[in-house]
Structure 1
Amino acid sequence: MSTDSVRHLWITASTRAGCERLLASLDLPPLLAHVDAHRRLRGPYTAAGTLVRQLVPATRSTRPGLAEQHDVEILAVAPELRTIVPCSRETLTALAGPDERTRFYPKARTTQLAHGLTEFLFEYLSHPGVQSRTLVVANAHHADGTDAELLAILLRRADPGLLRLVVCGLEGELPGELATSLERHALRVVPDVAASPAELRPDKQSRYERAAWYVTTECTSDDPWLREAYASLPLAERAALHDARATELESRGEVSLRLGAIPFHRERGSDPRGAGVDALRDALDHCMMMGFYDTLLDLGRRSHALLDWKTQPERCWLVTTKMCTALTVLGRPDEAAALYDEACASSTLPSVHLQAAYGRAMLYTRFYDNGRLDHRQAKAWINTAIALSSLLPDRERRAFSLTFNENGLALIEMHLGDLHESLRLVTEGLRRLDEEVSPERKRLHRSVLRYNRAQLLTAIGPPEAAVQAYTEVIEIDPNHSEYYFERAAVYRRMGRLPEALADYDAATRLSPPYPEPYYNRADLAVEMGDLHAALADFGYTLELDPTFLDAYVNRASVRYELGDREGAMRDVAAGLAVDPDQPHLHCLRGLIAQEDGHLVEAREAFTTALHHDPTLVAAWSNLGVLSFGQGEVDAAIESFNGALELVDDPAVRGNRAYAYEHAGRWREAIEDYTRMLDRASPDREDPERGELFYRRGLCLLNSGDLRAALADFQECIALGGSSADEAQHELSSRGYDQLDRLRTASPTAG
Structure 2
Amino acid sequence: MTVDTPVPPPGVPPLLATADADRHTGGPYAAAAVLARALFPSASPDVIAARDIELRAIAPDLPVPLVRTTLSDTVPRAERILIPAPQRTLRVANGFAEFVRDALAAPASFLVTGYAAADPVDREIVDVLVRRVPGLTVIVCDLSGPAPKGPAPFWGGPSGQAVEGPAAARAAVEWCQERGCHHAVVEIGRRGLALAEPDTADWWAIVHAVAVGLGALEREDEAEELLCQARARTTDPARQSTMAYTSAMLLTRHHDPARRDLEAALAWVNIGIALCGLLPDRPDRAVKLGFDMNGKALIQARRGRSGEAMELVEAAIALADADLPEGAQRIHRLVLRANRAQLRVRVGDLEGALADLDAVIAADPGYPDYYVDRGNLLAKLGREDDALADYRTAARVGPPFAEAYYNCAEIGYARGDLEGALADLDYALELDPDFVDALANRAGLLTAVEEYDRARADVDHGLAVDPGNPYLLCALGQIEHAAGDVGRARAAFDRAVRTEPSLAVAWAGRGMLAYERGDVEAAIADLGRAVELNQEPGLLFNRALALRAAGRHTEAAADLARAHALDPADPDITAALTETPDDQRA
Question: Which TM-score bucket, shorter chain as reference?
Answer: 0.7 to 0.9
Q: After superposition, give the CA deviation of every residue in 1:619-639 in whole Å (9 maximum; x if it has no partner).
A: 335424642xxxxx4x35644
Is the Cα contact below 8 Å between 2:368 and 2:397 reproduced in 1? Answer: yes
Q: After superposition, give the CA deviation of every residue in 1:681-726 in whole Å (9 maximum; x if it has no partner).
A: 799xx89888887753x424xxxxxxxx44xxxxxxxxxxxxxxxx
**Percent identical residues:** 33
Distance in 1 between residues matched to 2:380 and 2:142, nearest whole Å: 50
Task: State whether structure 2 residue 566 is matched by structure 1 residue 587.
Answer: no
Task: State whether structure 2 residue 533 is matched by structure 1 residue 649.
Answer: no
Q: Select between 557-566 and 495-504 the one with higher mean Cα deviation.
A: 557-566
Task: Give the counterpart letter for 1:78 in structure 2.
Answer: A
1:12 corresponds to which of 4, 11, 32: 4
1:147 corresponds to which of 85, 100, 122: 122
TM-score by length of 1: 0.69
2:66 corresponds to which of 87, 91, 96: 87
Give SS of 2:111's match: strand
Equivalent in the alignment of 1:283: 172
Distance in 1 between residues matched to 2:244 and 2:208, nearest whole Å: 12
1:47 corresponds to which of 4, 16, 31: 31
Task: Give the counterpart letter for 2:2 in structure 1.
Answer: W
1:35 corresponds to which of 19, 22, 25: 19
Task: State whether structure 2 residue 55 is matched by structure 1 residue 74.
Answer: yes
Give SS of 2:76's match: coil
Q: After superposition, give the CA deviation of every residue in 1:562-611 in whole Å (9 maximum; x if it has no partner).
A: 454554444445445545653322222223213xxxxxx24432343234
Give SS of 2:530's match: coil
Is the Cα contact below 8 Å between 1:89 and 1:510 reproduced in 2? Answer: yes
1:163 corresponds to which of 136, 139, 146: 136
Equivalent in the alignment of 2:189: 300
Equivalent in the alignment of 1:56: 40
Q: What is the alpha-carbon root mean square deviation over aligned residues?
A: 3.2
TM-score by length of 2: 0.87
1:399-548 equivalences in 2 (<5 Å): 399-548=286-435
Q: Select between 496-505 and 357-366 the one with higher mean Cα deviation.
A: 357-366
1:328-347 equivalences in 2 (<5 Å): 328-347=215-234
Distance in 1 between residues matched to 2:579 and 2:180, nearest whole Å: 68
Give the direction of change, closer, same or farther, for the CA distance of 1:296–1:552 in structure 2 (3 Å limit).
Answer: closer
Distance in 1 between residues matched to 2:256 and 2:328, nearest whole Å: 35
Q: After superposition, give the CA deviation of every residue in 1:224-249 in whole Å (9 maximum; x if it has no partner).
A: xxx9xxx9xxxxxx9xxx9xxx9xxx
Distance in 1 between residues matched to 2:242 and 2:267, nearest whole Å: 14
Task: Give the counterpart letter for 1:585 in structure 2.
Answer: A
Give 1:71 deviation, angstroms. 0.9
Query: Unpaired segments of 5 or more residues in structure 1?
Result: 1-8, 14-18, 175-221, 232-237, 247-255, 268-275, 595-600, 628-632, 661-667, 701-708, 711-750
Task: State whether structure 2 residue 494 is matched by structure 1 residue 610.
Answer: yes
Q: How many residue pairs were aligned? A: 565
Task: Give the counterpart letter for 1:34 in structure 2.
Answer: T
Equivalent in the alignment of 1:117: 96
Distance in 1 between residues matched to 2:561 and 2:28, nearest whole Å: 67
Distance in 1 between residues matched to 2:27 and 2:190, nearest whole Å: 15
Distance in 2 between residues matched to 1:375 and 1:687, nearest whole Å: 47
Give 1:545 deviation, angstroms. 2.1
Task: Give the counterpart letter for 2:541 in structure 1.
Answer: P
Task: State whether structure 2 residue 161 is matched by structure 1 residue 262.
Answer: yes
Distance in 1 between residues matched to 2:226 and 2:419, nearest whole Å: 52
Distance in 1 between residues matched to 2:575 and 2:218, nearest whole Å: 61
Task: State whether structure 2 residue 198 is matched by structure 1 residue 350.
Answer: no
Give the direction of change, closer, same or farther, for the CA distance of 1:94–1:109 in structure 2 (3 Å limit).
Answer: farther
Q: After superposition, give the CA deviation of every residue in 1:620-679 in whole Å (9 maximum; x if it has no partner).
A: 35424642xxxxx4x356445533453363245336645x5xxxxxxx276577657867
1:620 corresponds to which of 506, 510, 535: 510
Task: Give the counterpart letter for 2:173 in structure 1.
Answer: L
Distance in 1 between residues matched to 2:404 and 2:18, nearest whole Å: 35
Give 1:347 deviation, angstroms. 2.7
Task: Give the counterpart letter for 1:167 in structure 2.
Answer: V
Give 1:114 deviation, angstroms. 0.9
Give 1:544 deviation, angstroms. 2.0
Equivalent in the alignment of 1:205: none
Task: Give the counterpart letter for 2:497 in structure 1.
Answer: D
Give 1:486 deviation, angstroms. 0.9
Give SS of 1:536's match: helix
Distance in 1 between residues matched to 2:107 and 2:137, nearest whole Å: 8
Task: Give the counterpart letter for 1:471 in structure 2.
Answer: D
Give SS of 2:12's match: coil
Distance in 1 between residues matched to 2:530 and 2:49, nearest whole Å: 52
Give SS of 2:45's match: coil
Distance in 1 between residues matched to 2:508 and 2:85, nearest whole Å: 37
Distance in 2 between residues matched to 1:406 and 1:326, nearest whole Å: 22
Give the direction of change, closer, same or farther, for the CA distance of 1:428–1:528 in structure 2 (3 Å limit).
Answer: same
Task: Give the counterpart letter for 2:21 in structure 1.
Answer: A
Give 1:53 deviation, angstroms. 1.6
Equivalent in the alignment of 2:436: 549
Equivalent in the alignment of 1:397: 284
Equivalent in the alignment of 1:717: none
Give 1:77 deviation, angstroms. 0.6
Equivalent in the alignment of 2:536: none
Is the Cα contact below 8 Å between 2:493 and 2:510 reproduced in 1? Answer: no
Give 1:291 deviation, angstroms. 2.1
Give the direction of change, closer, same or farther, for the CA distance of 1:53–1:352 in structure 2 (3 Å limit).
Answer: same
Equivalent in the alignment of 2:263: 376
Task: Give the counterpart letter for 1:137 in structure 2.
Answer: V
Q: Select between 524-533 and 604-613 the one with higher mean Cα deviation.
A: 604-613
Equivalent in the alignment of 2:534: none
Give 1:151 deviation, angstroms. 1.2
Distance in 1 between residues matched to 2:450 and 2:293, nearest whole Å: 55
Q: After superposition, give the CA deviation of every residue in 1:397-454 in whole Å (9 maximum; x if it has no partner).
A: 2332322222223223323332222222222222222232222321111111111111
Equivalent in the alignment of 1:234: none
Query: Unpaired segments of 5 or more residues in structure 2?
Result: 499-503, 532-538
Q: Select between 583-592 and 49-58 the one with higher mean Cα deviation.
A: 583-592
Task: Give the counterpart letter for 1:166 in structure 2.
Answer: I
Is the Cα contact below 8 Å between 1:680 and 1:689 reproduced in 2? Answer: no
Distance in 2 between residues matched to 1:389 and 1:676, nearest whole Å: 56
Is the Cα contact below 8 Å between 1:673 and 1:692 reproduced in 2? Answer: no
Give SS of 1:586's match: helix
Q: After superposition, give the CA deviation of every residue in 1:37-70 in whole Å (9 maximum; x if it has no partner).
A: 11123211011111112211222xxx23111111
Distance in 1 between residues matched to 2:73 and 2:488, nearest whole Å: 53
Distance in 2 between residues matched to 1:640 and 1:137, nearest whole Å: 61
Give the direction of change, closer, same or farther, for the CA distance of 1:343–1:567 in structure 2 (3 Å limit).
Answer: closer
Give the direction of change, closer, same or farther, for the CA distance of 1:618–1:283 in structure 2 (3 Å limit).
Answer: same
1:176-215 equivalences in 2 (<5 Å): none
Give SS of 2:67's match: coil
Give 1:152 deviation, angstroms. 2.1
